[in-house]
Structure 1
């Protein structure tokens, strides 16, 4: 399922226009990103937890040349599924 499929599914399931469904979907994603950037974690009961993790600087290699290089420290956005979601997936 991609972004457009999600919008279509919500529009059909909730009986709203695609434009309204698009606003809802984009609003939910924006809220998750904003909350994660501010607090570092977003927990949705029955679905899972989104959180920001730190990836430290590390040594690596340039795949084209094989030359050693430093990979800069960065932040990552991780998702951990809830027990309810895992149980549903694993039937």
Structure 2
């Protein structure tokens, strides 16, 4: 399912127009990005939580030559599925 399909599905399920559903989804995405960027955890009941994690700098290896490389520290995003989501996925 892609973004357009999600918007269409939301519009039908909520009995609202496509443009309204698109604004709601865009707003939600922006709020999640802003909060996680500010190092806040975002919890959405029934779905899961988004949080920021930090990867420290480390030494890696070039797979072709085996030469050591310095890998810079970076931030990444973690998503942890909620229990209801996990139960739904694991139903036979």
Please confirm whether the aligned pair reaches a TM-score higher than 0.5, indicating the same fold.
Answer: yes
C-alpha RMSD of the superposition:
1.7
> Residues of 2 paired with 1:38 and 1:61: CA distance?
32
Can you give the 5+ residue segments of structure 2 that lack an aligned partner in the other structure? none
Q: How many residues align?
A: 91
* Counterpart in the other structure of 2:69: 69
Can you give the 5+ residue segments of structure 1 that lack an aligned partner in the other structure? none
1:66, distance to aligned residue in structure 2 (A): 5.2
| Secondary structure class of the residue paired with 2:16 | coil
1:60, distance to aligned residue in structure 2 (A): 2.2
Change (3 A) 1:69 1:17: same
> Residues of 2 paired with 1:7 and 1:64: CA distance?
44
* Counterpart in the other structure of 2:25: 25
